[in-house]
Amino acid sequence: MIPDIAVFNGFWYFVALIVAMIAWRIWGDRVMRAIRKFEQDRRDADLQTYFDRMNPNAHFRQSVDQIGEQTPAVEGVTWNGEVYESREDAEAARWRHIITEARSFYIDLDRTYGNKIKGPNAAHRVDGQN
């Protein structure tokens, strides 16, 4: 048993404080970097949301971002089971896939609501009527 002496009343608090100070000395930089990165990401997201409120075409970027998050990432020189000559070629193929998916989403949206497609093929309607 520990004798009930005044020295031992705050001993374990002192030990915990010393351990916390040593741990902060070892891992404090990593913790602060993680907190700063989290805060910067949050500020960037808030700023992007602010700009999106003012931009009537922001839904295009949001659609591409969402499809990009759902599309598997490039691993080395391989993407989607295919091997490419370089990582840049694989990234280009992934980007083409993302843009194609976004375009087909908006074409299906136009088809659903019977809207005309504006652009190079404006003479043709999506629903097959001219």
Q: Closest Cα partner for 61 from 69, 52, 71, 70? A: 52
Largest CA distance in the chain: 97
- Categorize the per-residue pLDDT at 3 as very low, low, confident or very high, splitting at 50, 70 and 90: low
- Secondary element (H or E) of residue 82: strand 82-83
* Predicted TM-score (pTM) above 0.75: no
8 Cβ contact partners less than 8 Å away, ≥ 6 residues apart: 2
- Distances in Å between the Cα of 81 and the Cα atoms of 76, 77, 93 are 12, 10, 12
pLDDT, average across residues 46-72: 91
pLDDT, average across residues 119-123: 54
* pLDDT tens sequence across 75-120: 999 998 999 999 999 999 999 999 999 999 988 888 888 776 666 5
